[in-house]
Amino acid sequence: MRAALAAAFLALPLTSSSPASAADADPVALPMTLKQAVAALPTAAESREGYARSRFHLWTDEDRDGCDTREEVLIAESRTPAAVTADCKVTAGQWFSYYDGETLTQSRALDVAHMVPLAEAWDSGAGTWSAERRTAYANDLGDYRSLVAVTARSNRSKADQDPAEWQPLLADARCTYTTHWVATKLRWGLSVDTAERKALRELAAGCGQETVEYEPAGSHRPV
C-alpha cells in the first residue's frame, strides 16, 4: 500500500495534491479546498510538558517482512529500484527531496521525516494519547504524506518547527508541504495554535488549486 501511494505521489507535479480514493475515505473526509481544510483544524494552546522522543517508538516492522518503517519508506519513494541488503537495509536508489529540490542516490544522506514532527505532534494533542497510538503515528505507512524521505540537512533545518516558523527552501514545494501538513493534522486529530493557523491561512491563500482528502487514523493495521 505504501509503495502504491508513494508511486502516485511521485507521478504528480509538486503543485498538485494527491488525495486517496474517495471510496476508501471516511464520509467526513471528502475533498475540501486547502482553505476549508485549514478552517477545519481545531485551535488549542500547545504544551510540551512531559515530551521525550522516546515516547514514540521508532522504527517498527509491523507487517513482519524484515523491513522496518524507515526502510519501507526508502524503498517506496526511490524512483529507481532500491538496492537492499539481505537484512533489508537500503543502501542506494534515487530519491527526490522535495523540501529543497535535491536528487540523491545514497540513503545515508536521507532522513525519513515526520511531516508533523514528533514534538509538534505531542504539543498538538499526542501527549494525551496511548503509547500504542503514538507508535502508530510514528510509523504511519497508511498515508504517504505522513512520512517522507528528504535530505538530512533540510529535515534538521526544519527540526520540530511548524509552518509559522519553517517552510521548505524550494518555494514551489510550499503548497504541497502545506497541504500535506494540514492533511496529516486532520488525519490524526491534531490541533494548531494561533500563530500556526495564521501562517496556514496565508499559505493557503496562495494555493488555490490544492485540495485535501484524508482518512482519519483509527486502529493501526499492517499495510
84-132 confidence digits (pLDDT tens): 999 999 999 999 999 999 999 999 999 999 999 999 999 999 999 999 9
Count other Cβ atoms within 10 Å, centred on residue 181.
Answer: 24
Q: Where are the domains of the chain?
A: 2-45+60-212
135-163 confidence digits (pLDDT tens): 999 999 999 999 999 999 999 999 999 99
29-81 confidence digits (pLDDT tens): 579 999 999 999 999 999 999 999 999 999 999 999 999 999 999 999 999 99
pTM, entire model? 0.85
